[in-house]
Structure 1
Amino acid sequence: MGESVRTTDGTGYQYTDNFDVTDEVKEQFDRDGFIILRNFLDTEEVATLRTTLEQDKTLEDNYYTRDDGEGNQSEMATWKHPVDDITGMIGRSDKAAGTVEKILGGEVYQYHAKVVMKEPFTGGAFVWHQDYGDWYHYGNLFPDMATVWIAVDRADRTNGCLQILLGSHQAGRLEQVKVGEQTGADPERVELLAKLCPLTYVQLDPGDALFFHCNLLHRSDQNHSQNRRWAYLVCYNRASNDPVYKHHHPNYTPLIKVQNSRIKECGIKTPTEGKLFFHGPKRERDPAMEVLERKA
């Protein structure tokens, strides 16, 4: 694919209370497959989010790992529904859910949320993949889905930031292959797309957010640095795209949006009732992997 120094530095929209999804913003998302909102969470909000995640013992109890096939692992915790902590308030906020609704063109609900933890020196890589690569198998008939990826720590090339292929979502869903414990996009097709879609390193400061389409190809390197790379993600599905069968991610569940001010009001608390954690492939069999194995 070749090395590239193209990064997202100096790009994106500065988030303010007056931010709106204008025609220009929507056109950029449709063209590139993503937008960046800088300072999406302000200093106080991201500090509260970081402290809450660090103090939340349920993350330790419910995290699982993904082996990257090269000796390293990334840890993550995934849950279904938002509750009344800062993670839930962010997911239900106008600036997150409301923005995604305008981007996707209709009511959305939380498909799931997760924390991805790449620890210093040991954080694993993720292969090139599309989120819809798996979500297709989970009964979602249309790619009317998007993710808000929020930097809890600085994310850059030194600690394994996201890499994307600009505009690659326009190629549609690709065939999938198994890579270790991960499911990736067809490497041959990815290599061809990489000749047309610029490889871009998504460098973000704490509180910056990447809003991206479920078919956008993305990956990340191992973290060989002394700096951890934690991120909080909220994945959304259009209400009209209710999965046609039940899976470990929820069917349509009405999302009650809240004003952005609720993010600061909830403080540091870690309620768990109603979150419903997913315990990963080592504890719960993933039907998508079974589909791939049957095809092999």
Structure 2
Amino acid sequence: MVSQNKPLSDGQLHHYHQDGYVLVKGFCSKAETEKLYKIALEDEAMGKNALDLNDQTGKKTRLSLWFTPGNDPFGYLVRSEKMVHAVGQLMGGESPVCHFHSKLMQKEPKVGGAWEWHQDYGYWYKNQFMFPDQVMSVMVALTEANRENGCLQVIKGSHKMGRVNHGFAGEQVGADMEMVDNALKTMDLVYCELEPGDALFFHSNLLHRSAANLSDHPRWSIIACYNTQANIAYKETSTAWKVPLQTVPNEAILEWEYESLSNADFLKKENDPALKDTGWEGDVKVN
């Protein structure tokens, strides 16, 4: 039974737990998506705080990452009832949903770099979150995502492998390619092609990657990452991950007055724990 407090069906929950992800078509309306994309392009704080991360070929992918959801349309989206209740369903609903961080992914035409094979928990393990089942990501497409412009690729069911060792791949963190190759022999590779407004909910241990954008069209998306309050992060200096979200009505995205992102607590590259060498990364083959 689908309701406002339980927006995902039993079938969608089954797909998430079985496959490690579930795609919800039209999660955001055309008007919501256009507003979010317009603000992403025009808000100076978003561009000013963007990080350039090189892949193994030197191509750059830009992302802007912030921790506390504010009173802006992105903050309203990640705190919206439809989003928070869906995430709560997928993570079990026993502990309040918190927001770990959000990031705007900006993959420009011809120059937008690849993301190597990885699990989000391959990064977040360094933050020492205890339970990977209680931390997850939601990607909302702001532009079309397809094979030509480097859409997300996932290995279906790979979240059941548990955490794979990760090392450095350029300025990114990449999964042990021997394990990735074995996973590709065992499970299906899926290209997650999205229309603007579609949302992909995925588990923190799902292996995924994206190719460089060699097309003439940009690929932009917002990825909101969530945690449950019961899932302690012993080495995370931000505090958003343990603050229960105060939901806002879905109509806030379009109808409420909003502020600039200039007051957001953006991540600085030098403060990213995922990029710090802990000593064992050099033993992991990532290419």
Q: Please, what TM-score do these two structures have when normalized by structure 1?
A: 0.89
Amino-acid identity (%): 34
1:71-94 residue CA offsets vs partner (Å, 9 max, x unmatched): 310000000010011000000011
C-alpha contact 1:155 1:161 (8 A) present in aligned 2: yes
Name the stretch that deviates more: 195-204 or 21-30. 21-30
What residue in structure 2 maps to residue 214 of structure 1? 204
Matches within 5 A, 1:1-296: 20-106=7-93, 107-143=96-132, 144-248=134-238, 250-266=240-256, 269-273=259-263, 275-280=264-269, 283-284=270-271, 286=273, 289-292=276-279, 296=283
3-state SS of paired residue (1:117) = strand
User: What TM-score results when the alignment is normalised by the length of structure 2?
Assistant: 0.91
Q: Say whether the 8 Å CA contact 1:38–1:208 is kept in structure 2.
A: yes
Report the alpha carbon displacement of residue 279 of structure 1 after superposing the two structures with TM.
Answer: 1.4
Moved more, 18-27 or 190-199: 18-27
| Structure 2 stretches lacking a partner, 5+ long | none
**1:65 CA displacement:** 1.0
Letter in 1 for 2:56: G
Judged with a 3 Å threshold, the aligned counterparts in structure 2 of structure 1 residues 154 and 295 are, in CA distance, closer, same or farther, namely: closer
Residue 159 of structure 1: SS of its match in structure 2?
coil
Aligned-residue offset at 1:17: 7.0
The runs of at least 4 consecutive aligned structure 1 residues that moved more than 6 Å come to: 15-19
Distance in 2, matches of 1:183 and 1:136, equals 12
Query: Shift of residue 95 of structure 1?
Result: 1.2
RMSD over aligned CA atoms reads: 2.0
The aligned amino acid for 1:198 is D
Q: Distance in 2 between matches of 1:204 and 1:86?
A: 21
* Residue aligned with 2:178, SS: helix
Structure-1 separation of matches of 2:20 and 2:239: 23
Aligned in 2, Cα 1:251/1:49: closer, same or farther, shift over 3 Å? closer
The 1-side partners of 2:148 and 2:274 are apart by 34
- Cα distance in 2, alignment partners of residues 148 and 285 from structure 1: 20
Write the letter of the residue equivalent to 2:185: K
How much has 1:294 moved relative to structure 2?
A: 7.2
Structure 1 position 254, deviation (Å) = 2.0
**Contact 2:71 2:258 (C-alpha < 8 Å) held by counterparts:** no
SS of 2:36's partner is helix
For 1:284 and 1:245, the matched residues in 2 are separated by 12
Partner SS, residue 277 of structure 1: coil
What's the offset of the Cα at 1:98? 1.1
Residues 132-151 of structure 1, C-alpha deviations (whole Å, 9 max, x = no match): 01111102011011111010
What stretches of structure 1 of length at least 5 have no aligned partner?
A: 1-14
